[in-house]
Chains A and B, each alone.
Chain A
Amino acid sequence: MKILIVDNPYKDRGFSTELRNHAEIIIQNKNLEAIDFSQCQLIFKHDSFNVDLDSKLKSRIAFIKFSGGGALKNEILNESDGFKFKASIESPEQINSVLSVINKSEISKEDLEAILNYDSELEKLLTPFQSVLPLDSEWNKHKTETKEDLFQKGTDLRQYLNM
């Protein structure tokens, strides 16, 4: 077993067929105890499913909580591996990303980022501008960076975007 979807059984049909077909099991209340979590690599868990899985999970397992009405359309809160943000699996392309991960022997942080459509490089390039006021007059007064530094970072950002 490599991927697990944890949800109430009546929501079974809400998941995309493509994803459901590749998940080896969907946990139902009655057979929770029978699951061998040591074989899981990627888990999707609906937040309405009130079962504490922490004790059963090993640290390397990628664990994605989601909420809303099934089909993985709604917001997903990623709580794994130290980076915390909301994202959503919405498009077929992202489902394909999930499927491409399934066959890997180990799932990395980058794999999850791809699934969640998260660009860590872009986030890094955007971050400096969120702690400095956007006014031209304020760039000279920045505590740690010069105006030239900030201009260079702006150039780096645009170069990255134009790649």
Chain B
Amino acid sequence: MKVVVIDNMEWDGAKISDGDFQDNQMSWCVSTLRKSMDTIKTEIEIDAKNDIFKDEDVHCFLINVHCAIYRLKDKTNYERVTTYQAQAGVDIYRELLHLYRECSEKLRVVFFSPYADKPELLFHKKPENLILKHLEYLQVPFTWKQVQDKFEQYNKPVFNNASENLLSGYSLYHNQHPINSKVSTGKKKILFIDDQSNEWKAVFNEMFHEDVIEHLPYSNQEEFRQNLANGQVEKNVKSKLAQCHLVLSDFYLNENHDPGKWMNRENIEKISGFDLFHSIRATDKGKAIPYIMHTSSNKISYYKVFDQNGVDDWLVKDVRPNVTSNEKLDNYILFKQTIESIFSPKIYSTYKKMQDLWENIQKVKNVTDVRWWYSPQYNAELLVPVFDEDGYLDKMVFAPVNDYRSDHSNFTKNDIVSILESSWYAIRRQINKEIKYEGSNRSKEAERFLATSICNNLGKIVEYLGIKSGARDFSYLTNFLLQIRNSASHSRDFEYFELNDVFIYLDYFVYVLLDFKTLKDFQDAFKDDYIVSKINKNNNRREFNFPCNLLWLYIQFYNHNGSKLLPEVRKNLLRKRIDQLFQKALGDSSLKMVWSIRTNIPANNFKIKKWYNRTFIPKDSVGNPTLNENSDGQYLKIFIPNSWQ
């Protein structure tokens, strides 16, 4: 096994097991004495890589951690520009990583130093050199036999410049922040896709908690690329999506990294990592999973293409061999913050809700049996099924509910699904956007614009179904669905809306379309009183506009029997929003006026007993009522009357 030594001094005259070092065909020395890093790199490439190791499967380097680097001061004089304690031998290793970037598995490195028998003290002095923990190490003095044994029994992880730089950054961060220095994912898993996945394993083991990273089962770049070409990588990724919560994927999976190259949009979209991203997004399971592109490129135009196509974020692999410590630290902090921000409860729960919603919308899209809303009047003659070429029933034309002339609507199930999907995409665009430039007030305003416009558009489905306000058979549906739309349309309630209301509304829409097979099932579920209007005693007309209408709608919906059929996860969001809206409404003077109705109107008009059955008291996270006791010693309650006569 051939060995190249990189040390401060020449090894001429040294006795090794087979005789003099310089006469041995199996060994060679690159002395760093009076040499700049450029000269050292050239010697390693020409003398070692291309000559000594020309026909070797493994390239073994024995490196002095304390090599010094020089520079030419004038025409003949050199001066040393690194100290021994600067550990420039590790910098030389980084140049080796660059030199072996396309064949890192060939590289074997053993460091030596007069420090202790374990290298901890070395990276304790220079945290950025944590790599010393992961490579072989010999304490000075040692025998040549020990060197040979180390190389022959070599079983150390492989790295590349990008992974080593990130490891350095992690170590520098850990040195400053020993607690919580790892990237926290809250036990959620990351699917890691990279043609050089092995080069990241040891680094990720340091940076993440146990079992966070899911690697693909390929042992090297060649095997990965073969499987990428025959479609196995794509299959493998898709099979793992359900168990993972984020995808971290290399951009150049099949192409060699070329930071100097510029590509136009068309070429960017042809790059293998982008191609794989598209095929994952095309699946239902991969529709909403957060996706981070991990790339050596830092070209803004590329990121713009990523962003426009729904890549959630991107992290730059710093592949330079001579990155400063500060840059490594900053890159690790960025990496950590990017991953952790996606796994923050608020943002990740949004991704989760989006994924669930998408899958439910697809159920609506793919349902093939006749649903109550195809023909609510149960008149088989009104059903006009339209089959596509495959006999797939996706063009069912339904009759409007209140269309007593029995004219068929021109709208199809696809039109409804289209609105549902468009609503989903509108929210998807909003997730994880940098909106700081808008300012907090403008940001909230922009979110309300989006939320209310989606709710307004969802209201079109009610029109498609032909359900009009006051339609007897659909009064409950009408009340809830139409009034959410109405609330979203008017200035009075506008300020109460946020994206979570769209989730509730959209989720409920999908629920009523999907979970009730017949009109009777639906009516049974909602047959109980569910009134969100009141009668104006002066003109005997129904009034729908309450202060903070959204809150009243939600409270009544939450109390209603029909909503009890909702899965708990859906009810939790509803409950949370009621709590939020209630706290907000506490400061609304007009809402207090509504409460005062309770005391101003004779009790017998309110069927008080029934009210109590419909009492809702907002509670805090530990279950205590969030309302103060009133003067009667009772908790102030919101009473939901059967009617507001």
Query: Using a CB–CB distance below 8 Å, which chain A residues touch chain B?
Result: 73-75, 77, 84-88, 90-91, 118-119, 122-123, 126-127, 129-131, 133-139, 150, 153-154, 157-158, 161-162
Contact B121 A161 (CB under 8 A): yes
Contact A126 B66 (CB under 8 A): yes
Contact A133 B114 (CB under 8 A): no
Which of B76-84, B415-423, B459-467, B485-493 forms contacts with chain A? B76-84
Q: How far is A161 from B115 in the complex, measured between Cα atoms in Å?
A: 8
Contact A158 B83 (CB under 8 A): no
Interface residues of B in 1-54 (CB under 8 A from A): 7-9, 11, 14-16
Q: How far is the CB of A117 from chain B (nearest CB, A)?
A: 9
Task: Answer yes or no: B233 CB below 8 A from chain A CBs.
Answer: no
Which of B139-147, B383-391, B584-592 forms contacts with chain A? B139-147
30 A-B pairs whose Cβ atoms sit less than 8 Å apart in the complex = A73-B327, A84-B80, A85-B80, A85-B81, A85-B82, A85-B86, A87-B83, A87-B86, A90-B324, A91-B176, A123-B85, A126-B66, A126-B84, A127-B84, A129-B114, A131-B9, A133-B7, A134-B112, A134-B140, A135-B14, A135-B141, A135-B143, A135-B144, A136-B141, A136-B142, A137-B143, A139-B141, A153-B114, A158-B115, A158-B121
Q: Given A85-B83, A135-B141, A137-B143, decide whether A158 and B15 contact each other with a Cβ distance below 8 A.
A: no
The digit string for B149-183, where 1 denotes a CB below 8 A from any CB of A, is 00000000000000000000000000010000000
Q: How far is A131 from B125 in the complex, measured between Cα atoms in Å?
A: 22
B residues near A90, Cβ cutoff 8 Å: 324-326
Contact B116 A158 (CB under 8 A): yes
Q: How far is the CB of B40 from chain A (nearest CB, A)?
A: 15
A residues near B143, Cβ cutoff 8 Å: 135-137
B residues near A162, Cβ cutoff 8 Å: 116, 121
Q: Which residue of B lies closest to A77 (CB)?
A: B81
Out of B9, B79, B324, name the residue touching A88 (CB < 8 Å).
B324
Out of A75, A87, A135, name the residue touching B16 (CB < 8 Å).
A135
The digit string for B110-145, where 1 denotes a CB below 8 A from any CB of A, is 001011100001000100000000000010111110
Q: On chain B, which size bracket covers the interface?
A: 35 or more
A residues near B140, Cβ cutoff 8 Å: 129, 134, 154
B residues near A118, Cβ cutoff 8 Å: 83, 85
A residues near B112, Cβ cutoff 8 Å: 134
A residues near B325, Cβ cutoff 8 Å: 88, 90-91
Contact B14 A91 (CB under 8 A): no
Contact A154 B82 (CB under 8 A): no
Out of A75, A91, A126, A136, name the residue touching B85 (CB < 8 Å).
A126
The digit string for B86-125, where 1 denotes a CB below 8 A from any CB of A, is 1000000000000000000000000010111000010001
Q: How far is A87 from B64 in the complex, measured between Cα atoms in Å?
A: 20
Q: How far is A91 from B115 in the complex, measured between Cα atoms in Å?
A: 25
Task: Answer yes or no: B454 CB below 8 A from chain A CBs.
Answer: no
A residues near B125, Cβ cutoff 8 Å: 122, 161
Contact B324 A86 (CB under 8 A): no
Contact A86 B121 (CB under 8 A): no
B residues near A153, Cβ cutoff 8 Å: 114
Task: Answer yes or no: B68 CB below 8 A from chain A CBs.
Answer: yes
Q: How far is A85 from B84 in the complex, measured between Cα atoms in Å?
A: 10
A residues near B8, Cβ cutoff 8 Å: 130-131
Q: Which residue of A lies closest to B17 (CB)?
A: A137
Tally of A-B residue pairs with Cβ under 8 A?
A: 96
Contact B84 A133 (CB under 8 A): no
Contact A130 B84 (CB under 8 A): yes
Q: Given A130-B8, A135-B14, decide whether A86 and B141 contact each other with a Cβ distance below 8 A.
A: no
User: Which 10 A-B pairs have CB atoms at the shortest separation, nearest pair first?
Assistant: A134-B140, A136-B141, A126-B84, A129-B114, A90-B326, A86-B81, A130-B8, A73-B326, A161-B121, A90-B325
A residues near B121, Cβ cutoff 8 Å: 158, 161-162
Q: How far is the CB of A66 from chain B (nearest CB, A)?
A: 12
B residues near A133, Cβ cutoff 8 Å: 7, 9, 11, 14
Q: How far is A136 from B142 in the complex, measured between Cα atoms in Å?
A: 5
Q: How far is the CB of B152 from chain A (nearest CB, A)?
A: 18
Q: Which residue of B lies closest to A151 (CB)?
A: B141
Q: Given A73-B326, A77-B81, A157-B114, decide whether A130 and B68 contact each other with a Cβ distance below 8 A.
A: yes
Interface residues of B in 565-593 (CB under 8 A from A): none
A residues near B324, Cβ cutoff 8 Å: 73-75, 88, 90
A residues near B68, Cβ cutoff 8 Å: 130
Q: How far is A55 from B79 in the complex, measured between Cα atoms in Å?
A: 24
Q: Which residue of A lies closest to B64 (CB)?
A: A134
Apart from A130-B9, A133-B9: 15 A-B pairs, beta carbons within 8 A: A73-B324, A84-B79, A84-B81, A85-B81, A122-B125, A126-B66, A134-B64, A134-B142, A137-B144, A138-B15, A150-B141, A154-B114, A158-B121, A161-B125, A162-B116
Q: Which residue of B lies closest to A127 (CB)?
A: B84
Q: How far is the CB of B145 from chain A (nearest CB, A)?
A: 10
Q: How far is the CB of A159 from chain B (nearest CB, A)?
A: 10
Q: How far is the CB of B38 from chain A (nearest CB, A)?
A: 15
Q: How far is the CB of A112 from chain B (nearest CB, A)?
A: 13
Q: How far is A156 from B173 in the complex, measured between Cα atoms in Å?
A: 30
Q: How far is A157 from B115 in the complex, measured between Cα atoms in Å?
A: 7
Q: How far is the CB of B36 from chain A (nearest CB, A)?
A: 12
Q: How far is A53 from B151 in the complex, measured between Cα atoms in Å?
A: 53
Contact B84 A138 (CB under 8 A): no
Q: How far is the CB of A137 from chain B (nearest CB, A)?
A: 5
Q: How far is the CB of B137 from chain A (nearest CB, A)?
A: 12
Q: Which residue of B lies closest to A73 (CB)?
A: B326
Q: How far is A127 from B114 in the complex, measured between Cα atoms in Å?
A: 10
The digit string for B321-333, where 1 denotes a CB below 8 A from any CB of A, is 0001111000000
Q: How far is A123 from B15 in the complex, measured between Cα atoms in Å?
A: 28
Q: How far is A68 from B121 in the complex, measured between Cα atoms in Å?
A: 30
A residues near B11, Cβ cutoff 8 Å: 133
Q: Which residue of A lies closest to B330 (CB)?
A: A73
Q: How far is the CB of B170 from chain A (nearest CB, A)?
A: 15
Contact B82 A134 (CB under 8 A): no
Q: How far is A74 from B141 in the complex, measured between Cα atoms in Å?
A: 35
Q: Given A90-B324, A135-B14, A137-B15, decide whether A129 and B85 contact each other with a Cβ distance below 8 A.
A: no
The digit string for B465-476, where 1 denotes a CB below 8 A from any CB of A, is 000000000000
Contact B326 A86 (CB under 8 A): no
